[in-house]
Copies of this chain bind each other. A is one copy, B any other.
Amino acid sequence: MQITLGELASKLGLSLIGDADQVVCGLNTLKDAEAGEVSFLANSSYQSQLAGSKASAVIVAADLAEQVASNVLVSANPYLSFAQASQLFNNRPEAPAGIHPSAVVADTAEIAAGVSVAANAVIGEYCKVGSGSEIGAGVVICDHSIIGNDCQINPNVTLYHNVVLGDRVTVHSGTVIGADGFGFAPDQGRWQKICQLGGVRIGSGVEIGSNVSIDRGALGDTIIEDDVIIDNLVQIAHNVRIGKGSALAGCAGVAGSTSIGKHCTIAGGVGIAGHLEIADGVHIAAMTLISKSISDKGAYASGTAQMPMNEWRRSATRFRQLDSMAKRLQQLEKSQKR
């Protein structure tokens, strides 16, 4: 991929200060960029790297244009412009159209023209795959599941039956959508299985990382709304609903029947208990446990901060005594007043 700065500025809708004929061939960080590469500054903590960068052009906000030694691409939102540039320089190998002879596709499945179905993929009865979608090697899609247009289902993904994906959905490898929710009734020391009769509905523009588990509903569906992004190793239990535009980082887990609002950000390792309602615009800090519903937008946290081990031990020991400490404090206050 080679492009002149003039063309690049035009495609990204940016104004160029410098040589429109300079050819560039890739993106890189300010620190690692070589001549012929484009870089960007979106985080002021890297501002000191502007002067020394070898990049042939830098995407920056207007007020920093003067500090760039080479060509400048002026952007009102450099991070967004960088994202758009990354899509131009995308180097992902293209999947060949057509169904690989080793794939096993049921006669009743409807595969749109131009779909790529890779080696050893398995597509069940009455499934549908929309145009422009890619089904990776070793993917298994069980009966009655539907994939929209322009989806990218990476190798070794598993979709159970009655899973519905909208358009432009990306699912990374190892992810499982539609396995049974964890529903059992206790029965004299054993567990009676509650068959999970619902499905999973995923909106459009959703991206799901690798090794994610999204369970089917017990009654009714588990629902991921449009434009949700989910990182790796995330657990989404049965009948959860994730609102439009929300983001869940790696290793987060959401228990059954909890509803998360729109435009929430759930940081890595967060755990959210079941049957809760989380309002729109809630931000939860890393490794927080949420065990009560949240009705007000804003940021929330739990836990304690890192400490050297020997200091931590002392604080942890005192944590066990906290109630006694609080009562003794009250006692002192009382006797002082007398």
Report which A residues bind B (CB closer than 8 A): 26-29, 32, 77, 79-80, 82-84, 86-87, 89-93, 100, 102, 104, 118-120, 122, 124-125, 136-138, 140, 142-144, 154-156, 158, 160-161, 170, 172-176, 179-180, 182-187, 189-197, 205, 207, 209-213, 215, 218-220, 227, 229, 231-233, 235, 237, 244-245, 247, 249-251, 253, 255, 263, 268-269, 271, 273, 283, 285-292, 294, 298-323, 325-326, 328-329, 332-333, 335-336
Contact = CB atoms under 8 A, between A and B. Distances in A.
5 contacts: A93-B125, A122-B138, A301-B309, A303-B316, A318-B323
Contact of A191 (B29, B156, B227, B237): B227
B305 A143 contact: no
- From A102, A211, A335, residue with most partner B Cβ within 10 Å: A211
A195 B302 contact: no
A156 B336 CA distance: 69
Nearest to A28: B219
Contacts of A212: 211
Copies in the complex: 3
Nearest to A289: B287
Contact of A251 (B118, B174, B235, B329): B235
B195 A93 contact: no
Contact of A89 (B122, B195, B231): B195
Nearest to A158: B173
Given A271-B269, A306-B288, A333 B328 contact: yes
Contacts of A26: 197
A96 to B, nearest CB: 10
B302 A308 contact: no
Contacts of A291: 286, 305-306
A4 B321 CA distance: 58
Contacts of A315: 319-320, 322-323
Given A176-B174, A213-B233, A328-B329, A191 B271 contact: no
Contacts of A325: 318, 325-326, 329
Given A158-B173, A332-B332, 7 more contacts: A154-B160, A174-B174, A233-B233, A235-B268, A291-B305, A300-B312, A321-B326
